[in-house]
Chain A
Amino acid sequence: MKLILTGLLAGLLAATAARADEMVFTSWGGTTQEAQTKSWAAPFEASSGIKVLQDGPTDYGKLKAMVDAKNVTWDVVDVEMDFAIKAAKDGLLEPIDFTVVPKADLDPRFSNDHAVGSFYYSFVLAWNKGAVSGEPASWADMFDTKKFPGKRTFYKWSAPGVIEIALLADGVPADKLYPLDLDRAFKKLDTIKSDIVWWGGGAESQQLVASGEAAFGQLWNGRVFALQQDGTDVGVSWNQNLTAADVLVVPKGAKNKDNAMKFLATATSPTGQAKFAEASGYAPINTKAKGEMPAEVVKGLPDAHVDGQINLDMNYWAEHRDEIATRWYAWQTK
């Protein structure tokens, strides 16, 4: 009896999860996922007849738990690139099927065997013009509490970005950032620790800056773009902007793997990338995409600001992720 029941249940689950005509896309919510839905999922549904269910936010712990439990309900997940490199090493990801996903035009910086680029972005210095007197021009200004008093905001979690910013502000040349000198970075961060308000998600960073609660800080350029689109008077400095990328991955054992690969083809296509860039202000990872975009939009993208641009080293982070995180949380909770 029990056996029959279990069998029935398993059958039911399999039937509901692996329907040929749907798949689940998971991303970070907010304005970014809205743009992804509009630019990728909607046209993909129309052309393929495969329904794309949206889920989120991305949660690495959940992703691992799904793979461990062999019950993977996410088919395509938007993750940070350093995580993708590590997750591939840990065997959490399916290899990308490049017979389905055209590889030729993808920016090689942001694609590998287990991930294709989603978009790339820059951390920029943004400030609320109504609440800050003067114009902060460099990361060093964010550590100058005399010149720029008040609260400033940084990304809360251990991830590429803040450590590098602290080192740059402390005078480390861009080409000498890696390997990261953590002692030096934390010492520099100590000098403004009590003035930092941490943001845990993109929407929070927007709210903090727009309300003037923390009038300036380190933001994702797309979130600044969205604020400006909304008519908020926000200034932005691209000086030493730090690029990183989100990538799309397929968790190991995803139930709709074939659909997932087809979706990746649409998402990384020149058109999909161009539309997304236009909607989000993030840069395309398909080198042909710019040809399909209005010149006005291209001007506002991170790759229009390559002067002094610094690429955060995803491979270094993938390798030292846990070690840096341990130090990070120990420092943060002190």
Chain B
Amino acid sequence: MQGNSSRRGSVASLAAGSGSALPALLLVGLFFIVPVVALLLRSVTDPEPGLQNYAALFGSGTYVRVFLNTFLVAAVVTAVTILVAFPVAWMLAIMPPAFGSVVFGIIILSMWTNLLTRTYAWMVLLQRTGVINRTLMGLGIIQEPLPLINNLTGVTIGMVYIMLPFMILPLVGTLRAIDPMTLRAAALCGASPFQAFRRILLPLSLPGIAAGGLMVFVMSLGYFVTPALLGGTSNMMLAEMIAQTVRSLLNWGLGSAAAFVLLVITMALYALQLRLVGARRTGGGA
């Protein structure tokens, strides 16, 4: 009896807790679940019931290529973002707080600027007649303009720039939670700076890297504006391909199928991440 009543108590408190979450759940249900279900339905009913859209999707060399390319771009962007973000996050973590908040402000500020504006700014910088190429040619470092735009380089630069805050923020949290004394202890035990990084700092910051990396990867998978403006057609990403399928071919069924497959893959990745890293994260500060 006693156990039963205590369980009822916890159920009651759970219900009370979920009550306050109701508005959020409603919002997600209304604006996420319902459209996704509609998307799924459309992919198996348009133009007629059946799996023909999925057959067309996987049977089309174009779509398969665009899928692979989308993952390639997302992976490259994630890797570069981690490499760039780590030193920044580390610097932020060990900086005096007053200084740190200024740098933090600068990073956050970039997120407040319109995405399209920032992407256009990169076009101005990166194009053949742009600032970077003109400067390098003026200095005599290069003779021909470097191909920095309408290719993978352009997409990577533009997207890494946009993704950086999403990597830096979780990383700083993790790095701040690491006791600096552990590094000093490593040094006292004779570890070189690289060894200390490799064997102490890196493993301890892994949860932050994983959390930020996943966020960046997943966001990159669905990106539209930046790849469309800074990339070329030979590395077209899925979002743009779907837009074309719907807009120009009026093929809502195929477009829906492609979007749904991307969603399933993304969720699978998330589940995998939870299994691999979730358990280890329990003690982390991030």
Contact = CB atoms under 8 A, between A and B. Distances in A.
Indicate, yes or no, whether A interacts with B.
yes
Nearest to A90: B250
Contacts of A158: 248
A322 B250 CA distance: 9
B249 A322 contact: yes
Interface residues of B, number: 26
Contacts of A4: none
Interface in B248-269: 248-252, 255
B161 to A, nearest CB: 20
Nearest to A325: B249
A1 interface: no
Interface in A306-328: 321-322, 325-326
A87 to B, nearest CB: 8
Contacts of A157: 244, 248
B247 interface: yes
Interface string B28-68: 00000000000000000000000000000000111001100
A189 to B, nearest CB: 12
B234 interface: yes
Given A212-B129, A213-B129, A334-B234, A64 B250 contact: yes
Contacts of B128: 151, 212-213
Range, interface on chain A: 20 to 34
A182 B199 CA distance: 59
Given A157-B248, A197-B150, A334-B234, A329 B129 contact: no
B62 A61 contact: no
Contacts, number: 61
A60 interface: yes
Interface centre among A60, A65, A200, A213 (most CB of B within 10 A): A213
B127 interface: yes
A325 B62 contact: no
Interface in A76-96: 90
A321 B244 CA distance: 13
A211 B127 contact: yes
Contacts of B171: none
Interface string B118-155: 00000000011100000000000000000000100000
A157 B69 CA distance: 20
A158 B129 CA distance: 28
B28 to A, nearest CB: 22
The 7 closest A-B pairs by CB, nearest first: A61-B246, A61-B247, A330-B62, A332-B233, A64-B250, A213-B127, A333-B236
Given A61-B247, A197-B150, 14 more contacts: A60-B247, A60-B250, A61-B246, A62-B247, A64-B250, A151-B128, A158-B248, A198-B232, A212-B128, A322-B249, A326-B62, A330-B60, A333-B236, A333-B241
Interface of A: 59-62, 64-65, 68, 90, 151, 156-158, 197-198, 200, 211-213, 321-322, 325-326, 329-330, 332-334
26 contacts: A59-B247, A60-B248, A60-B250, A61-B250, A61-B252, A61-B255, A64-B250, A151-B128, A156-B233, A198-B232, A211-B129, A212-B128, A212-B129, A213-B127, A322-B249, A322-B251, A325-B248, A325-B249, A326-B62, A329-B62, A332-B236, A333-B62, A333-B233, A333-B236, A334-B65, A334-B234
